[in-house]
Amino acid sequence: MSVQTDYYELLEVERNADDRTIKSAYRRIAMQCHPDKNPGCADSEARFKSVSAAYACLSDPQKRAAYDRFGHAAFENGGMGGGNGGGADFGDLGDIFETIFGGAFGGRQQQARRGADLRYDMEIGLDDAFHGKKTEIEIEVSTACEPCNGSGAEPGTSARRCNLCGGHGKVRAQQGFFMVERACPTCHGRGEVIESPCRACGGEGRVDQAQTLSVEIPPGVDNGTRIRLAGKGEAGPFGSPPGDLYIFLHVKRHALFERDGTTLITRCPISFTTAALGGEIEIPGLDGERHVIAIPSGIQSGKQLRKRGAGMPVLQGRGHGDLVVEIQVETPSKLSARQQELLRELQQTETGEECPQSRGFFDRIKAVWS
Binding residues for Zn(2+): 145, 148, 162, 165, 184, 187, 198, 201
CA distance 254 to 265: 11
368 CB-side CA count, 13 A: 6
The sign of the CA dihedral 291, 296, 300, 304 is negative
Indicate the DSSP class of residue 234: P
Closest CA to 237 of 111, 120, 138, 118: 111
Measuring CA to CA, which residue among 117, 64, 98 is closest to residue 234?
117
CA distances from 333 to 89, 281, 330, 346 (A): 91, 22, 9, 18
Residue 175, CB-side half-sphere exposure with 13 Å CA sphere: 7
Residues tagged in the binding site annotation: 145, 148, 162, 165, 184, 187, 198, 201
Among the listed residues 285, 290, 298, 358, the one whose alpha carbon sits nearest the alpha carbon of residue 327 = 298
Q: How far is CA 16 from the centre of its chain?
A: 49
Q: Report strand pairing: 279-284 vs 263-271.
A: unpaired
**Quick check: helix, strand or coil at residue 353?**
coil
Q: How many CA atoms lie within 13 A of 3 on its CB side?
A: 2
The C-alpha torsion from 249 through 254 and 258 to 263, rounded to 10°, is: -70
Radius of gyration of the chain (CA): 40
Name, in order, each residue with C-beta under 8 angstroms of 261's C-beta and a sequence gap of 6 or more: 222, 312, 321
- Cβ atoms of 140 and 146 within 8 Å: the answer is no
